[in-house]
Amino acid sequence: MGPGEFGRLLHDFLEASLELAPQEESELARRLRDHLGREELATLPVLKRDLELRDHPNLQIALDQLRDGDGWTVESIGVAAAYGKMMGRAGLHLEVVALEPEHGEDLMARVTELMNEHNVYRGRVLAFARTDEGGVSVQIRALPEVERDSIILPDGVLERIERHALGVARHRERLLAAGRHLKRGLLLHGPPGTGKTTTAMYLVARMPGRTVLLLTGDALGLIEPACALARELEPAMVVLEDVDLVAHDRMYDESGPVLFELLNEMDGLASDADVLFLLTTNRPDILEPALAARPGRIDQAVELPLPDAADLRRLLDLYGTGLEMRVDDLDGIVDRLAGATPAHVKELLRKAALIAAEESDGAIVVEDRHLHEALEDLATDIARIKQRLFAADEPGEDDFPFPAEEEIDAGPY
């Protein structure tokens, strides 16, 4: 007998042995039979629901609420952990067994209601990321609170942003009663370091209780789960940083181009959904017109420009707080800072303070020479920003798919 024949016979023998071996009834099956009073469990209706792995705490809270608030008896028989893959994602599987289908449906609906009511993610700042296994992870973040005075922009710019982002939330009920929609899109664009992320954090601080979902880098491909959570936990804000990345053909996910998924999600939200899409980009010129020009997607685009001389002085005052400033030639410093961003000014004061601190003990005194020395280190970065801004041709009407500072006429909302 050859090795192949022997292996086949051994396989058949083991299968037959398993079929003939007595099957030990599980503890769960025995408890269910005793509780429901049925011998044949296979004939009972079973309701099934797949949950994301991130819903584990919400399911546990719902079960605890059933026990403590709804008068149910909850008994733990055992805990089993397993990792399963469906389309590359791990998850939870909930089953309800009942004597009658409607009883199971009522319980499943109550569990879902309690999960939503006590959702641990509601009102939190959530950062989405991809796991090594291809799944989705959600991390709760704590963002620094940004004060209004720390945002230096030309007159009227921050007011336009506040009106669009905060005004709708502030007048929510009145707008709904008047038939206006709450879903809205806001694009912040401008050179790197002009305050787009800081402005986004300021808006988050001004809307406590709103669920914020952050997508950046590779996580931009997680539009679908992020928007699903936004719908579930509204009022919500979906923040997409460097959204110009999705305008490139190179960004795909399992279902196709990420751009199409973003468009579908923005279009699919109900008009009364209190969801704000906040998009940022350094490259508005390459954004897909389908994203930027259609009403109901981006309703307002606001440019955060490089600060002028007056704003540079305000930034020096802001970031000089806590330092003793003995600057005689402030105009000369401001002239050398032309083309700098707020981030450059902040770094300038940090460098200058360090230079001054190494010269003497005690209170840090920053003088002109410290600022000029620090400016030498920043000169290359500032020159690069200038070259990038002024070397290229000015965008024409057809090159720029949306107004830079004016609200797009999207009809009544």
* pLDDT tens for the chain, residues 1 to 413: 566 676 676 667 667 665 665 566 677 778 777 777 777 777 788 888 888 877 888 988 998 888 887 777 777 665 555 544 433 445 678 888 888 888 889 889 999 899 988 999 999 999 988 877 777 888 888 888 899 999 999 999 999 999 989 988 888 888 888 888 788 888 999 988 899 999 999 999 999 999 999 998 888 888 888 888 998 898 999 999 988 877 654 455 544 467 777 777 777 777 778 889 999 988 877 776 656 555 567 788 899 999 999 999 999 999 999 999 999 999 999 999 988 899 999 999 999 999 999 988 888 999 999 999 999 888 776 777 666 655 544 433 333 333 333 333 333 32
Boundary of a domain, candidates 256, 275, 303: 303
The angle subtended at Cα 92 by Cα 257 and Cα 139, nearest 5°, is 60
Where is the domain boundary, 48, 83, 117? 117
Is the residue at 127 inside a domain?
no
Tell me the residue length of the chain: 413
Q: Examine the domain organization and report whether 108 and 156 are in the same domain.
A: no
Residue 108, domain extent: 25-117
User: Which CA distances in Å does 184 have to 162, 215, 261, 270, 327?
Assistant: 13, 17, 17, 11, 45
Q: Are residues 177 and 296 in the same domain?
A: yes
Residues 290, 335: one domain? no
Find the CATH number of the domain harbouring 338. Answer: 1.10.8.60
- The answer to the question of residue 244 being in a domain is yes
Looking up tokens 């336009």, which residue turns up? 160
Same domain, yes or no: 253 and 354: no
- pLDDT value, residue 238: 93
Same domain, 178 and 231: yes
**Encoded tokens for 333:** 């410093």
- Is 147 contained in some domain? yes
User: Based on the structure, what is the number of domains in the chain?
Assistant: 3
131 occurs within a structural domain: no
* Within a domain: 404: no
Q: Is residue 71 part of a domain?
A: yes
Same domain, 154 and 298: yes
- φ, ψ for residue 47 (rounded to 5)? -100, 140
CATH code of the domain covering residue 221: 3.40.50.300
What pLDDT shows up at residue 4?
Answer: 62
Q: Do 187 and 112 lie in a common domain? A: no
**Same domain, residue pair 296 and 320:** no
Supply the pLDDT for residue 266: 78
| Whether 245 and 296 share a structural domain | yes
Q: Residues 101, 176: one domain?
A: no
Please say which residue of 117, 152, 174 terminates a domain.
117
Residue 6 domain flag: no
Predicted confidence at residue 42, as pLDDT, reads: 76
pLDDT, tens digit, for every residue of 48-97?
Answer: 888 887 788 898 899 888 888 777 777 766 555 554 443 344 567 888 88
Residue 334 is predicted with a pLDDT of: 94
Domain assignment present for residue 405? The answer is no
Dmax (CA) for the chain in angstroms is 101
Three-state helix/strand/coil letters over the chain: CCHHHHHHHHHHHHHHHHHHCCCCCCHHHHHHHHHHCCCCHHHCCEEEEEEEHHHHHHHHHHHHHHHHCCCCCCCCCCCCCCCCCECCECEEEEEEECCCHHHHHHHHHHHHHHHHHCCCCCCCEEEEEECCCCCEEEEEECCCCCCHHHCCCCCCHHHHHHHHHHHHHHCHHHHHHCCCCCCEEEEEECCCCCCHHHHHHHHHHHCCCCEEEEECHHHHHHHHHHHHHHHHCCCEEEEECCHHHHHCCCCEECCEEHHHHHHHHHHHCCCCCCEEEEEEECCHHHCCHHHHCCCCCCCEEEECCCCCHHHHHHHHHHHCCCCEEECCCHHHHHHHCCCCCHHHHHHHHHHHHHHHHHHCCCCCEEEHHHHHHHHHHHHHHHHHHHHHHHCCCCCCCCCCCCCCCCECCCCCC
Three-state secondary structure string covering 84-130: CCECCECEEEEEEECCCHHHHHHHHHHHHHHHHHCCCCCCCEEEEEE
Same domain, 152 and 287: yes
**Both 89 and 168 in a single domain?**
no
